[in-house]
Structure 1
């Protein structure tokens, strides 16, 4: 009789367990994998059907660029940054040039100036191209002194009549058209830089964005 009660109790527990939790087939749910938990969040219960990544062309392009070695990189960024940030950008620019990447940037103070200084330190002038939003004479005196050391300097005197922000927007688009990858240093409210990064993404460029705030 005791054995009957134990076996009966075991059967009841199994039945209750099946009722409370059910099986994957009965409930129609699946336990998410670790990767799905990271991507979709740990609260996800229902796991949708596997769908292929729609933008596979972009991934193939990314892999191709990485396998090709040195590439053209456009540097953008705010003028307003501290000395420490400028030093870090200068080191990054230097490292990019000595590894034979071609750097494109503009001629403003802050980020651009740090990029130019770092690239010049690498002593490979052919791997630095600076594109100005307007003519050289429209640049501040302190910028002109640094720009005088750049071998590949492109001026845009045809934009001298435009407001600087409009000329800068056109200049940024020109730089994007010449590079494979974009590196940008900005604040969340840097409107022009955010637009530049979005345009680069739209053109399937690799975009690395560093927020300073």
Structure 2
């Protein structure tokens, strides 16, 4: 039989359960962060796009980042198809630092936050800060990652520490 210490590490706390119950009972639209890896297969990109499309059509506000390919582009495509006004994009740096295909995709989106003061940071540093801001602005977090995705694993830990409802989809 497992010790109480090892069991308590895997069971949610009363506060976590209460927060999840409250979120479920509210029932209305939520602010949902969707973050994840750039390394998504086409099939996974289509799933992320459909999930985002459904979330936005259900009245939810979606928060994500910019970024080449992968999760962020799929989120942007899905939200733009459903209702671009229900999409908030927080860039790790600036629009000018995004690849041209991302810049094109961002056309017509009104809720974009960029950070010129992070221009000199590495993308990894700026992305970590960006993910924290995305998580802070949301009630719920969905993350697509691999077990080797260090920045995203850290972001998942940050979301848990801040008592966000988090769903992680591990792709490996």
Provide TM-score, normalisation by structure 2.
Answer: 0.91
- Give the whole-Å Cα distance in 2 for the aligned partners of 1:125 and 1:186: 25
**For 1:126 and 1:143, how far apart are their aligned partners in 2?**
18
2:70 paired residue number = 110
**Residues 194 and 47 of structure 1: is their aligned pair in 2 closer, same or farther, counting only changes over 3 Å?**
closer
Q: Which residue of 2 aligns with 1:55?
A: 13
- SS of alignment partner, residue 130 of structure 1: strand
Work out the CA distance in 1 between the residues paired with 2:12 and 2:163: 14
Paired position in structure 2 for 1:181: 140
1:85 to 18, 40, 44: 44
The alpha carbon displacement at 1:125 in A equals 2.3
Mapping of 1:22-101 within 5 angstroms?
Answer: 44=1, 55-68=13-26, 69-101=28-60
TM-score, length of structure 1 as denominator length: 0.74
Gaps of 5+ in 2: none
- Tell me, in whole angstroms, the C-alpha distance in 1 between the residues paired with 2:116 and 2:3: 57
Aligned pair in 2 of structure 1 residues 164, 212: CA closer, same or farther (>3 Å)?
A: same
Distance across 1 between alignment mates of 2:116 and 2:94: 4
Q: Distance in 2 between matches of 1:135 and 1:95?
A: 28
Matched, 1:120 2:80: yes
Q: Quickly say closer, same or farther: Cα 1:58–1:163, change in 2 above 3 A.
A: same
Q: After TM superposition, where is structure 1 displaced by more than 4 Å over at least 4 residues in a row?
A: none
Higher relative contact order (CA 8 A, sep 6+): 2
Q: CA deviation at 1:47?
A: 9.8
